[in-house]
Amino acid sequence: MKKIILSLVSIFVFVSAFSQGIAFEHGTFAEALAKAKKENKTVFIDCYTTWCGPCKYLAKNIFTQDEVGAFFNKNFVNVKMDMESEAGKPLMEKYQVAAFPTLLWLDADGKLQHKMVGAGDAQSLIATATLALDPKNNWAALNKQFEKGDRSSEFMQRYIMTSANAGIDAKEAVDSYFSSKKTEDLINTKDAELIASTIKSTSNPVFHFVLKNKARFYAVADKAQVDQFLEYTMFGEMVQLARKGDMEALSLKKKELIALDKEVGTKMVAFLDMNMLQSDPDQRKFYQAVADYGIRYDFDNFENLNQYAWTIAEAKEDLDKELVNKAVKMAKRSVELNTNFANIDTYACILNKAGRTEEAKIQATKSIELAPEDQKKDLWSAIFLNEKN
């Protein structure tokens, strides 16, 4: 009987070890390369920082999955590296790691095979890792093909998108591709995606072309994605100036963007101003900007309206009635656009803040009825109704 019990314990230990996800090495980078060469494997590096939220999400929720562990442990020598550590800093510079998390796949000589920026789910991670193992289609293979002179349209699209998804600067390829095409020929689904992934400047002629031909791009691509490309490009340029503290240059940039396109430019200037007011000592200015922006520019976006209304609902400051009523208007609109337990919860909360207690009770009850069982108790509505009963 003792032998049987010991056998069962051994099996349990084995299964537990197998179920712990990715097994990361504890040695140096050089030792990982040596092991990869000995075992004829690729090196996988999770480039993280201690303060990076998505990095922690990957480590806790994705790398620990059995399916992920089985694939990575079979195919790679796995390494975790804090990019702000003494060992990590040289690698961050060498492999141009500029955002976190960044995932690297290297051959046994340390040459980059593939790269991924950001945190995805288990399926997307395994799909990218599978591509990294493909000697004909990973980034290194495509880069070699580019260096040999392949400039065919289909290849260039694939090479540029692979580089963009990997956070690799492919400026030479991007410039070559767009200069070789007539702007009229860019109005198609693939090129719309390519533009959104690679064009980062409002001074780029391609950006100007999309801006002037929005309606035509809407016909071949998702309208929200086209708008997001235009808005984020404008916003990104202003944010860079704001971070530098160059207010004079920022003021000029605002005027430039509004002159470039009054509708989009004015919206993005308002969005920047709203965000910058988060640091204003008088937070009532920020909440007022949130309400004004939401009603004027985002009144058909249920998710954003819900967030704006909740931001005001949580405010500790004494807000005037008109402002709170604007938040009520946004929350109600959000529910009308897409009824769900989360935005009804927000609606109930802001109704209560507006002094409309009985209406708040009705909406709180609806929110709890729609919410999944495991989330009911954490709702503002649940706490509110418990206090009233």
- The conformational region for residue 81 under phi > 0 = left, psi -120 to 50 = alpha, else beta, is beta
Percent of the chain's residues with pLDDT above 90: 92
pLDDT of residue 5: 40
- Mean of all residue pLDDT scores within the chain: 93
Express each pLDDT in 81-129 by its tens digit. 999 999 999 999 999 999 999 999 999 999 999 999 988 899 999 999 9
pLDDT for 183: 92
Task: Kindly report, residue by residue over 360-387, the tens digit of the pLDDT.
Answer: 999 999 999 999 999 999 999 999 999 8
Query: What pLDDT shows up at residue 13?
Result: 38
pTM (2 decimals)?
Answer: 0.78
The pLDDT score that the predictor gives to residue 7 is 42
Cα distances (Å, whole numbers) of residue 88 to 18, 103, 301, 357: 28, 13, 41, 55
Burial of 3 (0-12, 13-18, 19+ CB in 10 A): exposed
Integer Cα distance of 157 and 178 in angstroms: 10
pLDDT at site 30: 96
Asked if the peptide bond before residue 101 counts as cis, ω within 30 degrees of 0, the response is yes
Would the pLDDT of 143 be above 60? yes
The predicted-structure confidence for 152-181, as pLDDT tens digits, reads as follows 999 999 999 999 988 898 999 999 999 999
Residue 301 has pLDDT above 50, yes or no: yes
Calculate mean pLDDT across residues 305-312.
Answer: 98
Alpha-carbon gap, residue 99 to 200, rounded angstroms: 16
- The letter for the amino acid at 159 is Y
User: Residue 11's pLDDT is what?
Assistant: 37
